[in-house]
Structures are given as C-alpha cells and as structure tokens.
Amino acid sequence: MVYQWGTDSGQLPQERNHHALPAEPQVARDAPKVLPFKKVGFVEKLRSIVSKEALIAEGDRVLVAVSGGIDSVALLHGLYEVRSHISHELGVAHVNHGLRPKESERDERFVERLSKSLNLPFYVERVDVNQYARDHGLSIQHAARDLRYNSLFSVASNHNYNKIAVAHTLDDQVETFFLRVLKGTGLHGISSIPLKRGPIIRPLLFITRAEIEEYCVEKHIDYVEDSTNRTNKYERNYLRNSIIPLFFKINPKFKDKVAELLSDILKVNDMLDEKADKFLNDYLVSSKDSFLIEIGPFLALDSETRFRVLSKIGERFSPPLIIRRNHVKLIHRILHSKKPCLSVSLPQMILAKKTYGKLTFERVKAERVYEPFLKLEDGINHIPDLKITVKVKRFEKPSDFDPRTKDSMVAYLDGERAIDLKLRTFRHGDRFFPLGLDRPTKLKDFFIKNKVPRDRRRKVPIVISQDNIVWVIGLRIDDRYKVTDKTKVVVALEASYQDN
C-alpha cells in the first residue's frame, strides 16, 4: 500500500543542526503522528529486492552515492541494516556540485558526519558543473549527471568497490516514464531506469517515497533537503509537484500500475535485446574505435531490433555515443540510397560510413595527408606521414624476366621511362592509364570502381614520374610504364606499411 503524507503545506524545511546524529526526524508539519500499519517494512522489502534480484552478493564492496537527501540517506541506513543478512562492505561517496554554495557545503558536511557516525569510509568529489556545461554544450542538469557518474566510477575504481548503489526510487521511475513519454521516446526508452547496469545498482527502484519517509520517521533518521526541490523551475519538479498528484487523486495506486506496465515492457525489451545481441555476435567486426556490420543482414531485422543494434554499437565507444531516433533516420537514409559510398556525421566525432555493403562506425581523428612531392631515391625511402616505406631498385632486365606479380605492393616499371620518381597523394583531376587500358581514367572513378572508401582516397600513396602517375600503390600501375619486350632497364618498387 502507498501512503501520501502531507507534502503540500508549502513549508520549506530549514537546515538542521548537524552537531549530533541522529537528530529529530525531518517531517512535513501535517505528517501523521501515528503511522499506518504496513505489512512489509522498508528494510525487509529492501532485503528481499537485493536478494531476489542478486544486486549484492556476500563479500561485495558497495559504494553508496549519498547526496544527503532523504532517498540516499535511507538507502545507506537500509543497506547498513541489510548487512546482518548479506555480509558486504560499505563506503560512502558524495559529489559536491557547487551549484548552491551554502547548501552544497552543508550537504557535504552532513554526509561526512553521517559516514563517521556509521564508521564507514567517506569519499568526496568536488566538480565544476557550470564550466563542464559550457565546455560541452550541456544543460546544467545533464552536466551534473555526467560529472556525478564520472566521479562515482572514479572513486569505485580507485578504492576497489565492485558495486555502486544509487537511490532512484519508484517515484523517480514513474517521473522518468512520464518525462520520456512527453518528450517522445520509443519502446527502448520508455522502459525507464534499469535496476542494474554494469556496477550500478538501484535497490530502491521498487520502493516508494512514502515508504522511505515512513522508515525515516520510525528510525528517527535525519537528512537534508535541496531547497530547489520545492520549486517548479525544472521539468521534473513541475511534474512531481503539480501533475503526478492529479493522477494520485484518480487512482492512489497508479504508481504501482505504472510499475506493472514497465515490468511488461521490460520483458519485451529483453527479447528484442537478445535478438540484437545475437546479430552483433554473428556480424559485428570490432577494432579500436571502429565497428563494422554487414548492411544486408542488418536491414533484414525489424526496425526496433535495428535501433537496439545501433544503440549497442554506440555504447561500445568510450565515451559512449547515445543513439537517438533522429540519428537512426540519418543512417537509414544513407543505407537506402543508391550511392555505394556515403557517410553521416554523428555526435562526439563519430562517423557512420556506408561502403559497398558494409556499415562502419568510427571515431574521426585528424590525420595528416601527405600532399607535397617527395623524391624517391634508389634504396629505402621512409615516409612517416603515410606510415609507408618504399624500396627502389634498378637493374638490367634478364632475358627471361616476368614482370607479372601477385603482390599488390610490388611493381615493375620500365626504368627508361619511369625516371625522377616522386611520391604524393591523390589530387583533384588526377588521371592515369590503368594497366590493360589504352585510354585515360579519372583516378576518382578508378577508386570508386575498386571500392576504395572516400575517407581513404586522399591517403593512398601515388608514385609519379614527370607529373604522370606511374603506380597507385597497392592497386595498379600505369599501362604506359609497364615492362615490355623493348625494356632494357627495370625499376622495381616495393612498398610496405609500417603498421602492417
């Protein structure tokens, strides 16, 4: 049963005296003096969730994120009590966002004293939310969230905690559900907050704020309150303070109904995620900051599974890329285009490229392209900018010499024609006579025909002689410079990439 206590009195709680813990419970003025009977207590319910969902195992080291507010303080006290049933170690982490100077310092002092009263390790991280928001073009709330989780992961890693407990409640779950519906979301997004993801666990996710308030009153647990929670400046606060109470009047159990709906959606999401995972297991080719899939099998999936596949690929980047529906539309647009090679830029310098039946996601890096002419001397020539080495050797042609080679990185040219050799990369308007053809071809068209990705074309090394292309390294020599029966001197070129 969910109980609604008087939270609309309009009275803002004052900062408490933290010289002694625990202090008098912080309760709204019209809270009932006699608590209603409940069948399952807060700690019993918390222990049941932790055990049933395997959130904490014997011997786990759990870092509890504590802001000082009622939810996180109740979580810390609850897990402290659960230790008598499931043995685990606790630590307390507090992130000081510095957004409310006086209150932020008060909150930090309070959490530190609370940690000491429970004889638990205390860790504090101070962050500059405003600067981070400006640097990354984010809202204050988004920036604060990023910094909070970054700080928690850092503390957990540095102090060997394998779990991070955060205090999202059923009320937060319901609020997030409505916010996502109002802003527009798909089946994946509407499932709301996950109970666990990686090291993050949310033991209070099926517990209401009313149950938490009741527990804090019973145990005389003190906490502090963010004064901005009572204002409707932020969307979540407006929803919490003005909209949700209307649903509660219609059906006092509506939060439970939303939770049941989310549970059903979660089951459907799990099935779709399994399909996406199987596809990735079968078709994903991964390398550092690059992921490739086959377009045909990808387009054969249903639209929702395709979205999951793209989302899971985005999550593999570090930092992760959150795939939005508008990103999916852009990607599908290039996939359904008749052009064989197209790309679309995504946030965080990530490029989605369609290249002849393959879709690649990679983080774009600024690479130098070697444009100046570099003279190739006889012997070994190192070209660091292109990470390539070219060996040049001249010799008289033996009578039985066969210029044919299966090695694309080796070329034999007529040494009397191929003189004054230099190296550069592709330039607009380049033409040459590919071996076997008696007419010039645009190098761009040659690249397209040979399926050279657009972003690689200006990085392909080209050997020239007196302004004429003689060898597109790794692809084709120029027909005019091939070794013939009349050739007396052969120039042998052998190229190798330094990272191969």
> SS3 string of the chain?
CCCCCCCCCCCCCCCCCCCCCCCCCCCCCCCCCCCCCCCCCHHHHHHHHHHHCCCCCCCCEEEEECCCCHHHHHHHHHHHHHCCCCCCEEEEEEEECCCCHHHHHHHHHHHHHHHHHCCCCEEEEECCHHHHHHHHCCCHHHHHHHHHHHHHHHHHHHCCCCEEECCCCHHHHHHHHHHHHHHCCCHHHHCCCCCEECCEECCCCCCCHHHHHHHHHHCCCCCCCCHHHHCCCCHHHHHHHHHHHHHHHHCCCHHHHHHHHHHHHHHHHHHHHHHHHHHHHHHCEEECCEEEEEHHHHHCCCHHHHHHHHHHHHHCCCCCCCCCHHHHHHHHHHHCCCCCEEEEEECCCEEEEEECCEEEEEECCCCCCCCCCEECCCEEEEEHHHCEEEEEEEEECCCCCCCCCCCCCEEEEECCCCCCEEEEECCCCCEECECCCCCCEEHHHHHHHCCCCHHHHCCCEEEEECCEEEEECCCEEEHHHCCCCCCCEEEEEEEEECCC
Largest CA distance in the chain: 109
CATH number at residue 396: 3.50.40.10
Minimum mean pLDDT range among 32-36, 93-97, 283-287, 451-455: 32-36
Co-location of 433 and 476 in the same domain: yes
Distance CA 420, CA 438 (A): 23
Beta bridge partners of 291: 286, 361
Q: Are the C-beta atoms of 346 and 321 separated by less than 8 Å?
A: yes
Domain holding 58, by residue range, is: 42-263
- Tens digit of each residue's pLDDT (9 = 90 or more) over 241-255: 888 899 989 998 888
Three-point CA angle 425, 427, 430, nearest 5° = 110
* Assigned token pair, 473: 């390294």
What pLDDT digit, counting tens, does each position of 291-350 carry?
999 999 999 999 999 999 999 999 888 778 888 888 899 999 999 998 888 888 888 788
Contacts of 279 (CB under 8 A, 6+ apart): 293, 297, 298, 301, 305, 309
Q: Are residues 152 and 254 part of one domain?
A: yes
User: Is pLDDT at 4 greater than 80 in this prediction?
Assistant: no
Q: Model confidence over 420-439: pLDDT tens digits? A: 999 988 888 899 999 999 89
pLDDT of residue 27: 40
9 pLDDT above the threshold of 70: no
CA distance 243 to 498: 63
**What is the model's pLDDT at position 386?**
79
Do 55 and 171 have their domain in common?
yes
Q: How far is residue 471 CA from its own chain's centroid?
A: 42
> Are 412 and 492 a contacting pair, CB within 8 Å?
yes
Q: How confident is the model at residue 450 (pLDDT cuts 50, 70, 90)?
A: confident
Number of separate domains in the chain: 3
Beta-ladder partners of 413: 491
Please say which residue of 263, 294, 313 terminates a domain: 263
Same domain, 216 and 88: yes
Shared domain check, 331 and 402: no
Give the pLDDT confidence score for residue 102 in this predicted structure. Answer: 85
My answer on whether 352 and 385 are in the same domain is no
180: in domain? yes
Residue 469 lies in a domain: yes
Do 57 and 98 fall into the same domain?
A: yes
Taking 70 as the threshold, does the pLDDT of residue 487 lie above it?
yes
Residue 461 is assigned to a structural domain of this protein = yes
In a domain, 369, yes or no: no
| Domain end among 300, 331, 363 | 363
149 and 257 together in one domain: yes
Q: What is the CATH number of the domain that holds 308?
A: 3.30.465.60
Do 100 and 249 fall within a single domain? yes
Task: Name, of 231-235, 478-482, 494-498, the range with top average pLDDT.
Answer: 478-482
One domain, residues 98 and 149: yes
Q: What is the mean pLDDT of residues 449-460?
A: 82
Do residues 307 and 453 both lie within one domain? no
> Is 31 among the domain residues?
no
pLDDT at 14: 39
- Ranked by mean pLDDT, the top range of 76-80, 345-349, 379-383, 399-403 is 76-80
Residue 492: pLDDT band with limits 50, 70, 90: very high
Does 36 fall in a domain? no
Residue 470's pLDDT is 93
Q: The tokens of 329 are what?
A: 């539309």
Q: What is the pLDDT of residue 371?
A: 57
pLDDT mean across residues, the chain = 85
- pTM for the model stands at 0.56
Question: Are residues 226 and 358 both part of a single domain?
Answer: no
User: Has residue 113 been placed in a domain?
Assistant: yes
CATH of residue 128: 3.40.50.620
